[in-house]
Structure 1
C-alpha cells in the first residue's frame, strides 16, 4: 500500500511539473523563457569575448608596429646625427687646413715682396 501511495505521489509530481514549466515566475517569465534568455546571453557573451580578443590582438599588433617604427626612427635619427657630426668635423678640418694654407701663402707673398725670392711663386709655364 505504501508502495502504491508513493507511486501515486511520483505520478502526481511528474504531472504537476509540466504546468510548472509553463507557470510564470514572479517577474512574469516562464522557466523556458529564462532558459532561452540564458542561452542567448551565453551566445552573446561568446561573441563579445571573441570580438574583444580580436580587438586586443589588433591593439597588440598596433603597439608592436608603433614600437618598431619608434625604434627605426630612433636609429635613423642617431645615424643622421652621426653623419652630421662627421660632416661638420670634416668641414671644420677642411676650413682649418684652408686657413692654414692661406696664412702660409700670405706669409710667402709678404716675404717675396720684402725681397726673399726663395719664397716667391715660380712662374707658370706658358703653353
Structure 2
C-alpha cells in the first residue's frame, strides 16, 4: 500500500488545507521553499565554478612543473654534453702534448716547447 502526500500545487482552496495551515502559511512556506531552492541552485553553481577554477589552476601548476622538469632535463643534458666535449678536448690535448714530449726527447726540436724563462 503506497501512501502519498498531496502536493501543495494540488491544494487549491482553504477547505483542502491540512488543519493549522492557513493560506498565508502555505504561501510563506512556498516562498521559503522557492528561496531555498534558488539558494541551493546558486550554491551548486558556485561550487561548480569553484571546482572548475581549481581544476584550471591545478592544470597550470602541473604544466609549470612539467616545464620546470623539461627545462632541468635539457640543462642537464647540455651540461653533460659540454662536460664530455671538454673531457675529449683535454684528452686530445694531453695526447698531443705527450707525443710532442716524446718527439722532443727523440730529437725533433720542432716539437719541443719554448724553454721556460730563466730567472736570475
TM-score, shorter chain, exceeding 0.5:
yes
Following TM superposition, the consecutive aligned residue runs of length 4 or more in structure 1 with deviations greater than 4 angstroms are none
**Paired residues for 1:44-63 under 5 Å:** 44-63=36-55
**2:64 aligned counterpart, secondary structure:** helix
Deviation, 1:98, is 0.3
Q: If each structure's helix is expressed as a fraction of its own residues, which one has the higher value?
A: 1
Task: State the match for 1:80 in structure 2.
Answer: 72
The gaps in structure 1 that reach 5 residues or longer are 1-19
TM-score w.r.t. the length of structure 2 is 0.73
Structure ranking higher on relative contact order (CA contacts 8 Å, 6+ apart): 2
**1:123 aligned counterpart, secondary structure:** coil
Deviation string, structure 1 residues 51-92 (Cα, Å, up to 9, x no partner): 111111111111111111112222222222222211111111
TM-score w.r.t. the length of structure 1 is 0.70
Aligned residues: 106
Corresponding residue to 2:104 among 107, 112, 117: 112
Q: Which has the larger radius of gyration?
A: 1
Deviation, 1:111, is 1.9
